[in-house]
Structure 1
Amino acid sequence: MKKSLAVVAVAALLSGIFAGPAQAKDVKLTGGGATFAAPILDACKGEFASASGDSYSYASLGSGAGRSGWDKGDYDFGWSDTPHLTAKDVNTMHIPVVAAPVAIMYNIPGVDEQLNLTPEIIAGIFSRQITNWNDPKITAENNKTIKTPIFKKTKVTTKVKGKKVTKTITAKDKSGNPIVDSYTEEKVAIDFPKLPIVIVYRNDSSGTSGIFTNYLAAAAPSIWTKPGNNDFTASFPGVITDAANFGSVQGGKGSEQTAPLTARIAGAITYAEANYAKSNGLKVAKVKNNAGNYVEPGAAGVSAFLGSATTNPNGTLTLDYKSTNPAAYLLGSTSYALVSSSYKDPVKGAAVKGLMTYILNECAKKFPATEFAVIDGPLKTFNEAQIAKIK
């Protein structure tokens, strides 16, 4: 039975999380899969090792590789942005332990301003129905008054590399919802060049593509007419190999390839985890939500969006693309750790349980610059209940 995150029991199964066989130190874990989770997992490696005495490696190869590697037994934990409902191991569990935005990032020489895009414009661009940056739809959307939420911030003290540091994160209420401090109204006026648009997509089996195309199919169904799919070409509403798309549609394996490719091509646009924009010098767009507000691709907007998601018995979430939360960034998602409820080696199982607990409680707080959301409230309780089942 599905449960709304708003009504998930507040009582956490903390005793279950920390129960289990004694854990040996220096357990070396191997993981792999989604590029979506890579920024936070890479950032948190050293801190987890210092805190636990254990360590992990993570191969950022894409959600498809995460699912297949998990099925083959290559990993102690896999990772996939979309559910792995056909896992070979009947003890496979989903832990939605990280959450972050997928950002629309672009390279338009001469345009230094931040773009404001609607779901319909995004779908039009990526379906090749809008092919030039001076298209009237893009121009109109970026020459008017827009309204944007400003989130309240708070400071938390944590330890990084053994030293106490103060980090600034989004303030939340008791239910885990981000607090909006105010809304700003701004008159934007952007002059676009006559420049062909080049779309850059993931050409591997990609959970990020799944998140992106699921959003387009839900938010702009009259334009994005095919269901979402981890294979972007399968969801593309047209023939991606059509001669008219030659040179204007380019693929890359992993966000590690698509973001740098976008940075090299004038007029290019892509979708990737927000952290990849920073590392490649790309700008990111605000996206219009169902309340008519334009929201940054950040942790706060994702938290607002996930507040209306529903939980499923198998550990997955059903996202609410009809959310009218005025602060929601709808192009966001959780990403699932693939773990077992019955590891053959109980010491390894305890180490995986410890890792999932650490990621949930510590990583986003320690590294807010990655734009991963601190998971609080009912979603945190749901994660704790899932983690408690790891044996």
Structure 2
Amino acid sequence: MNTLSLKTLVAAVAASLLAAGAASAQIVGGGATLPENLYNGKAAPFKSGIITSITGFDKYIGVGSGNGKKAFFGDNSDFFTVKNAAGDNVPVYNPKVRVHYAGSDSLVTSTELTNYNAHTTAGKAAFGPLVQIPVALTSVTVPFKGFSSLKLTGEQLNKIFTDPAITTWDQVITGGPAVPIKVVYRADGSGTTEIFLRHLKAVNPSNPNLSGVSSTFSSVVNVSNTSKYIAANGTADVITQLNANNYSIAYVSPEVVEFGNPAKVASIQNKNLSAPNDYVLPTINNVQNAVNAIHPPGTPLSSLNPVDPIHWGIGAQPTETALALPAAGYPITGVTNLLLSQCYADFDVEGGILDFLNKNYSATAAASANDAKIIANNLVPLPTNWQNAVHETFAKPSSSTLAIGNASVCAGHAGR
């Protein structure tokens, strides 16, 4: 049998196995890779995560925030893919199945919300209002290779990552080596990219080399200088490319680096803090401190509107600058979120989602049942006030009109 025939056979067998697995799928979702281990657990059969340990949830499929959003907003499970034995990306579900939720580190935009509300078959008319809820806090770390340690300001980060004229380290760091800078960036759509670029834009809103904030780095930064810029697809590939290139620098989520080690990740300046403590590492305390000044929608100290799903995205407008340039803590901080619809056609699906909400969000001043698992995965639990607000708003169908499965709201919708 020739190589091509063998690959074809392997692909066919893999596809049939994937299809068989799809038959047992129940609550289906995927997206951002940052929380993948948190949601699944780190070992086969991947049923020990904070999502998959709940009855009814299928394995969370990590494909990036961009593809997770596409799957959710289009109700199209074809965006949930896996590499088969031949190395090809093939859909996990064949035939297609309903998409019940998505994970995203990229916040819902006003355009996405408008399109969802207008969609007749895969939006509000069919599935009820959109729900965006924060799950855990995260930093975007800046790992490097070639230095014993590295302290950088926001201005220096801008020059390194966005300015095509900055090509050697001595151009940006006083006394730095006159060697080429190698910037590793995410080529795929990534919420990590969005969080990172939001900080750079807030540091210098008029930066001519950064046209905006996007989940796709190359859409707002000129990466045509391939001797400086190295494309990577996914978190693992970022680390691979970083390790393969001396005097390189990257941005990546914290689960794959020693985020508290100044010999591995850069300390980033927070101008609001007093020297010499203004350069901070992405530790748990520093990440939590960055969010403390932002209060949940519907609470006494907040002007945010609980009916607007965009306002549940910590760091979205109108609180964008509050997180992109926080008054305290680590300055490149973001949130990993879940996207849901308020109405579900299957009672078991609705029940599974409510079970997750009750376990992940504390209704009291005590920590939620999942806080320890979040910390074990190098992420940071939400502050208690945010946990309480999410629980009170979305986990009580009989008392909150915004809750998942509220009967009066969902009576006119078919549900996901």
Q: Judge same fold: TM > 0.5, yes or no.
A: yes
Q: CA RMSD in A?
A: 2.8
Structure 2: distance between partners of 1:49 and 1:31:
10
Structure 2: distance between partners of 1:61 and 1:50:
17
Q: Which amino acid aligns with 1:248?
A: K
Task: Give 1:1-391 correspondences, 5 Å limit.
Answer: 28-43=26-41, 45-46=47-48, 48=50, 52-73=54-75, 74=77, 75-84=99-108, 85=113, 86-87=115-116, 88-90=122-124, 91-108=129-146, 111-113=147-149, 115-128=150-163, 129-135=165-171, 137-139=172-174, 192-223=176-207, 225-236=210-221, 239-241=222-224, 245-278=225-258, 283-292=264-273, 293-309=278-294, 311=297, 312=304, 313-314=308-309, 315-317=312-314, 318=316, 319-321=319-321, 327-360=328-361, 361-388=368-395, 389-391=403-405
Greater relative contact order (Cα < 8 A, sep 6+): 1
Residue of structure 2 equivalent to 1:16: none
| Compared CA separation, residues 27 and 254, structure 1 to 2 (3 A) | closer
Q: Which amino acid aligns with 2:155?
A: E
Q: CA deviation at 1:66?
A: 0.6
Report the secondary structure of 1:351's partner residue.
helix
Structure 2: distance between partners of 1:55 and 1:209:
28
Structure 2: distance between partners of 1:81 and 1:106:
23
Q: CA deviation at 1:207?
A: 1.6
| Compared CA separation, residues 255 and 51, structure 1 to 2 (3 A) | closer
Percent identity over the alignment is 22
Structure 1 stretch displaced more, 126-135 or 289-298: 126-135
- Give TM-score scaled by structure 2 length: 0.66
- Post-superposition Cα deviations, 1:155-174, rounded to whole Å, max 9, x if no partner, equal xxxxxxxxxxxxxxxxxxxx
Structure 1 stretches lacking a partner, 5+ long? 1-25, 141-191
CA contact (8 A) 1:95 1:337 kept: yes
Q: CA deviation at 1:348?
A: 0.6
- Give TM-score scaled by structure 1 length: 0.70
| Compared CA separation, residues 249 and 201, structure 1 to 2 (3 A) | same
Q: Which amino acid aligns with 2:104?
A: S
- Post-superposition Cα deviations, 1:247-283, rounded to whole Å, max 9, x if no partner, equal 211112222222221121112211110112249x981
CA contact (8 A) 1:202 1:209 kept: yes
Q: CA deviation at 1:386?
A: 4.2
Q: CA deviation at 1:203?
A: 1.1
Report the secondary structure of 1:230's partner residue.
coil
Structure 2 stretches lacking a partner, 5+ long? 1-23, 78-98, 117-121, 298-303, 362-367, 396-402, 406-416
User: More strand by proportion, 1 or 2?
Assistant: 1
Count of aligned residue pairs for this structure pair: 305
CA contact (8 A) 2:29 2:60 kept: yes
